[in-house]
Amino acid sequence: MHVLRTPDSRFENLEGYPFVANYLDVSASDTQPLRMHFLDEGPVDGPPIVLLHGEPTWSYLYRTMIPLLAESGYRVLAPDLIGFGRSDKPARIADYTYLRHVEWVTSWFERLKLRDVTLFVQDWGSLIGLRIAAEHSDRVGRLVVANGALPAGQQRPSPGFLAWRAFARYSPVLPAGLIVAGGTVRRVPPKVRAGYDAPFPDKTYQAGARAFPQLVPTSPTDPAIPANRAAWRALGQWEKPLLAIFGDRDPILGRADAALIKHVPGAAGQPHARIRASHFIQEDSGPELAERVLSWQKAVL
């Protein structure tokens, strides 16, 4: 496996991202160790909150939420998935599988000895994070799902998703900053778009971003379906608190909250919300999300 590493110079003086870089090696069952970058802000002995990003972003997506959570006494951890941000980037699309992503993040949890965390997930962060919550329930004490789902091959993919998947596979360019800007309600300034572009100096670094849409299990024969269905069954017995905060203008996942709220026992009676936001809800409404999580944490911790 040939692995690329984005030069540190690409991350200098990014808009609104003053955080210290942390690294550790993670492993999947069939790959060499890879270096994963993560943020670790706030008191080390504070209640842990883990923030998982999705496609095609990185921990930069959480830059407006992290200070508010950390200043309130929480230990806030935000990893960059393998292939994204400052983490290592295997160079071939075939190097990425759904299972490997789950194993890489699980390895990160294990290396940091994280337990009873509040896990905030969005986009592909939910496809990975909900699996981890179901398969390693001792590590996750509370769930916040924002524009996320756990596909189990039981619904046809939307035309919008199929178009996005084709674009990610065949387009000669994959401009992360413009993609984020196209999935928000508010205007994303050029300096912020540059922050999303920073991990990808050129197209050779984008195999992970190109792979993600192809890895979403949309068919009952997809190799990830048995594990996802088992995780969905486990979530049907999940009595720990689950909060859903979705963007009311997300054309892809804006209605996926209904199935989660209906299926997960721990979602009953929680202050779920649909707020004015599109797919990249953290970019549209980061401070509001942080305040909602903080208010909810006071009630459930």
* Active site members: 123, 250, 279
* Whole-angstrom distance, CA of residue 195 vs CA of residue 15: 7
* Whole-angstrom distance, CA of residue 224 vs CA of residue 217: 6
> How, if at all, do strands 89-90 and 3-4 pair?
antiparallel
